[in-house]
A and B are shown apart, each in its own frame.
Chain A
């Protein structure tokens, strides 16, 4: 769980289907807070793709569904 003191109000979101609570409501900041390499993941909020360059402009709100994807093997 991320420290909620950093940006004030905490929000409840679903991250890859799991309920989470966070004070980092800026998407780029949230990823950074998770220690994720920004270039190694792709993101969608509520089913809409959020390009890397747009993450800084996305505010996570209560009930938002955040999905984070990684490269894997595939057929």
Chain B
């Protein structure tokens, strides 16, 4: 583990390894690309595909988000039923990379079995590993999560663990073979934003070289800006877009927010001052009247 000192403060420079893209004279700066799960991505916005008013709006939202990664799920069902199953062809056509989840699992055994099914069904080794330990908060069970992550990483999966913001659990997940972490901002679907920025800052400071994605709890684009300004590599969200009055417009809003927050992190936010500091470079008073 790296022994970086605590914590990221306002005005500090990015600790992530990827350097910002150097803009050509004509093009405005854009956020740097990054690597996760063995691939290079330009977008830092992972979008969930559940709960949209229609499959068409989902497709338009994916397009407006610019997301290169979308999450999908599996359900125990025999029948090929209606709109819910048409979605797969549409999502595939969007060209986005798929990140299947293990939603609903409460044990490592369930999650590893479901992950293997997902690998076959979606043709990807990527898995968003969810192992829930509490029905009310949908808080991950760290013990089952680490156990499942270890088994799946050994089996060749790129494990994207949905985890809490607990630093030591995150370390255990890295030890288990994860190369990316997805700590929650707040409980899934709650839209409460980042309820513990201190813990998220600590993770960023202590794990400077690990791709970190805030997953769950983001409610408004402001929360996405905050996550990115903390130095997170990406955000994953679903309800905040799907449940907006106009999901397509909101997808675009989040895209802009993610880019704005990332650019701010790369640019280095100024240090906060406790008192006013004059901006205009006058010397003394302009007039003495």
Q: Is B267 an interface residue (CB 8 A)?
A: no
CB-nearest residue of chain A to B71: A74
Stretch at the interface among B110-118, B193-201, B257-265: B110-118
> Per a CB cutoff under 8 Å, which of A36, A37, A69 touches B76?
A69
Which of A36, A70, A75 is B74 in contact with, Cβ under 8 Å? A70
Q: Do the beta carbons of B88 and A74 come within 8 Å of each other?
A: no
Instruction: Return the contact of A47 from the options B76, B109, B188 (Cβ within 8 A).
Output: B109
Within 8 A of A (CB), among B97-154: 100-101, 103, 109-110, 113-114, 116-118, 120-122
Take A16-B77, A34-B78, A42-B74 as given contacts and tell me if A73 and B50 are in contact as well, using a CB distance cutoff of 8 Å.
yes
| Segment 20-35 of A: residues with Cβ below 8 Å from B | 34
Q: Which of A36, A51, A73 contacts B84 (CB 8 A)?
A: A73
Interface size class of chain A, counting residues whose CB lies under 8 Å from the partner chain:
20 to 34
A58 within 8 A of B: no
Q: Which bucket holds chain B's interface residue count? A: 35 or more
Question: Given the complex, which residues of A lie within 8 Å of B85, measured CB to CB?
Answer: 70-72
A5 within 8 Å of B by Cβ?
no
Q: B residues 16-57 with Cβ under 8 Å of A?
A: 48-52
Let me know if A49 and B100 touch, CB within 8 A.
no
With A69-B76, A69-B121, A70-B75: A75-B103 Cβ-Cβ less than 8 Å: yes
Which interface residue of B72, B76, B87 has the most chain A CB atoms within 10 A? B76
Determine whether A4 belongs to the interface, using a CB cutoff of 8 Å to chain B: no
The reply to whether B120 and A71 contact each other, CB–CB distance below 8 Å, is: no
Interface residues of A in 56-75 (CB under 8 A from B): 67-75
C-alpha gap A48/B239 in the complex (Å): 32
A44 / chain B contacts, CB cutoff of 8 Å: 113, 117
Which residues in A have their C-beta under 8 angstroms from that of B49? Answer: 73-75
A63–B85 Cα gap in the complex (Å)? 30
Please give me the residue from chain B that is nearest to A74 by CB atom.
B73
B27 → A minimal CB distance (Å): 34
Query: With an 8 A cutoff between CB atoms, is A1 at the interface?
Result: no
4 A-B pairs with the lowest CB-CB distances in the bound complex, closest first:
A74-B73, A42-B117, A75-B48, A75-B238
**Interface residues of B, Cβ cutoff 8 Å to A:** 48-52, 58, 71-78, 80, 84-85, 87-88, 91, 100-101, 103, 109-110, 113-114, 116-118, 120-122, 188-189, 238-239
